[in-house]
């Protein structure tokens, strides 16, 4: 989730324009449908692998590639929001998403489907910061908090229930219908927005550092491709050693960081890295990354694979099994926000990390004879842990930053969320393939157990990191700022 450029509009006092409720509703529904598409295909990986005759580790790129594309595009949204009007960005976002949905629905090959997913992701990445900035302009100050809380719940729940929607569709229809059902919704939102979305705004010519965009794409793309290639290596389908793209990606990210530190001196950085000078931001950022690795890698990938390949449930049942956890995550959003205002982040984050780690290790001991009820119960516990952590970490990470760095901190946070989700997807699918007793690396109970063990180790790391969340003697929101950066 990105709040890019929120800081530039938070001080503006505007009365709500006509149809503001309708406009916000259109933006929220649009964002929900778009974010839902991050994970809606996760329950269809097995079907897609069969239809296109590809390994599961390749099919998972339909999810991790979507997330990775968002991670590359989101850092450019600060530039886009300054250079173009909200109406122009909305129309471009929905048009891209609708076009990507059409391409995906018509896709005759895996390559075309992957291209459609990339186009979808480009539209989705732009919608998130547009939603946040539009709320700041449309909603009166007295009601902004409640509206933002609702939006946070929507953004958190959509990826969690994506497998449920996907399973429901696959229970009676082909996978293409996941796109044909979404397309009319996106086109309707595009029409409504084209007619009614008109916001006062000031645009200015700003330069986009294309070299930074290229370095970001090569860096994150190389790392994720290398990890996915590790999973495919068992089937001898990798065109080059997996360490090559990993090394290229790591080198590109090093250069990317170096370039940003130079450009930020002139206020021209694609991503200003000065928020990393605030200890509380860094701790919250690390925990958020660990959370999203497991949120998308375990809940959206490993669990559906376990339900379908080990317990032999239908796609509909496997999708329905993750619904209670998704609902628990959504219902916790506002109550946890209220508790955060009263007690701060630490009393919520530590129990949340413990619940997360416990549930991940419980998944690791599941086998072919485990009951579906036990799986659902463990998943609910996992989502409760996420719910206790998500809102406090989001608020804590940005609350410690001064106003002029909050938009950059939001972009860093949103980018890391997407990269962490893609990283988790690739790592867990790779672990499943490497641990599989099947020579082809196909998912089985042994491989999935190995992947759950890896996730359990990540959970332990999250618990350790949670104890570094600072204590707050005065947990009011206005007090959560550090006097100065701790690293510079």
pLDDT score recorded for residue 206: 65
H/E stretch holding 399: helix 372-399
pLDDT score recorded for residue 113: 93
Q: What is the pLDDT of residues 261-286, one digit of tens each?
A: 888 887 777 778 888 989 989 999 99
DSSP reduced 3-state for 187: helix
pLDDT score recorded for residue 486: 39
Q: Burial level of 213, CB count in 10 A (0-12/13-18/19+)?
A: middle
Q: How far apart are CA 68 and CA 220, in angstroms?
A: 7
Are 272 and 402 in contact by the 8 Å Cβ rule? The answer is: no
Count the Cβ atoms, other than its own, within 10 Å of residue 403: 12
Q: What is the pLDDT of residues 152-193, one digit of tens each?
A: 667 667 776 777 788 788 878 888 888 998 899 889 888 888
pLDDT score recorded for residue 403: 66
Are 233 and 242 in contact by the 8 Å Cβ rule? The answer is: yes
Collect the ranges in the chain with pLDDT lower than 70. 1-20, 57, 78, 82, 132-133, 135-137, 139-153, 155-156, 160, 199-204, 206, 227-240, 403-404, 406-407, 439-441, 472-488
pTM across the whole model: 0.74
Work out the end-to-end distance of the chain between its first and last CA atoms, rounded to an integer number of angstroms: 27
pLDDT score recorded for residue 477: 38
Q: How far apart are CA 21 and CA 27, in angstroms?
A: 10
36: closest CA among 63, 73, 10?
Answer: 63
Q: How far apart are CA 449 and CA 366, in angstroms?
A: 8
pLDDT score recorded for residue 341: 77
Right CATH for 17-479 from 3.40.50.1100, 3.40.50.1980, 3.40.1110.10, 1.20.1250.20: 1.20.1250.20
């Amino acid at each position: 989730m990105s709040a890019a450029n929120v800081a530039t509009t938070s001080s503006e006092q505007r009365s709500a324009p006509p149809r503001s409720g309708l406009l916000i509703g259109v933006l929220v529904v649009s964002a929900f449908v778009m974010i839902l598409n991050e994970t809606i295909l996760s329950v269809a990986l097995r079907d897609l692998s069969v239809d296109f005759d590809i390994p599961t580790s390749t099919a998972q790129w339909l999810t991790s590639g979507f997330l990775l594309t968002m991670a590359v595009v989101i850092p450019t949204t600060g530039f886009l929001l300054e250079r173009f009007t909200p109406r122009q960005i909305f129309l471009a976002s929905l048009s891209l998403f609708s076009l990507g949905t059409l391409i995906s629905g018509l896709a005759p090959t895996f390559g075309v489907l992957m291209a459609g997913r990339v186009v979808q992701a480009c539209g989705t990445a732009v919608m998130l910061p547009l939603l946040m900035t539009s709320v700041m302009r449309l909603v009166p100050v007295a009601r902004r908090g409640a509206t933002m809380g609702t939006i946070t719940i929507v953004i958190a729940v959509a990826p969690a229930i994506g497998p449920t929607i996907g399973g429901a569709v696959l229970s009676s229809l082909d996978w293409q219908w996941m796109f044909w059902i979404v397309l009319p919704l996106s086109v309707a939102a595009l029409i409504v927005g084209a007619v009614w979305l008109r916001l006062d705004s000031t645009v200015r010519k700003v330069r986009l550092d294309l070299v930074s965009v290229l370095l970001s794409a090569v860096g994150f793309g190389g790392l994720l491709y290398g990890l996915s290639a590790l999973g495919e290596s068992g089937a001898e389908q990798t065109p080059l050693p997996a360490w090559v793209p990993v090394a290229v990606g790591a080198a590109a990210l090093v250069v990317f960081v170096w370039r940003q530190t130079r450009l930020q001196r002139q206020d021209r950085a694609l991503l200003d890295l000065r928020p990393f000078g605030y200890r509380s931001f860094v701790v919250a950022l690390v925990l958020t990354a660990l959370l999203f690795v497991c949120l998308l890698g375990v809940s959206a990938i490993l669990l559906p694979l376990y339900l379908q390949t080990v317990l032999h449930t239908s796609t509909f049942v496997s999708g329905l099994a993750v619904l209670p956890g998704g609902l628990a995550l959504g219902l916790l959003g506002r109550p946890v926000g209220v508790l955060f205002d009263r007690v701060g982040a630490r009393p919520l984050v530590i129990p949340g990390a413990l619940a997360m780690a416990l549930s991940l290790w419980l998944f690791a001991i599941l086998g072919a004879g485990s009951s579906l009820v036990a799986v659902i119960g463990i998943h609910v516990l996992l989502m409760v842990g996420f719910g206790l952590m998500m809102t406090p970490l989001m608020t804590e990470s940005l609350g410690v930053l001064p106003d002029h760095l909050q938009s950059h901190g939001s972009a860093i946070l949103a980018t890391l969320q997407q990269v962490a989700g893609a990283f988790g997807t690739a790592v867990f699918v790779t672990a499943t393939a490497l641990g599989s007793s099947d020579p082809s690396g196909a998912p089985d109970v042994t491989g999935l157990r190995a992947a759950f063990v890896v996730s359990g180790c990540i959970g332990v790391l999250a618990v350790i990191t949670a104890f570094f969340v600072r204590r707050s003697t005065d947990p009011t929101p206005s007090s959560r700022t550090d006097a100065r950066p701790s690293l510079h």
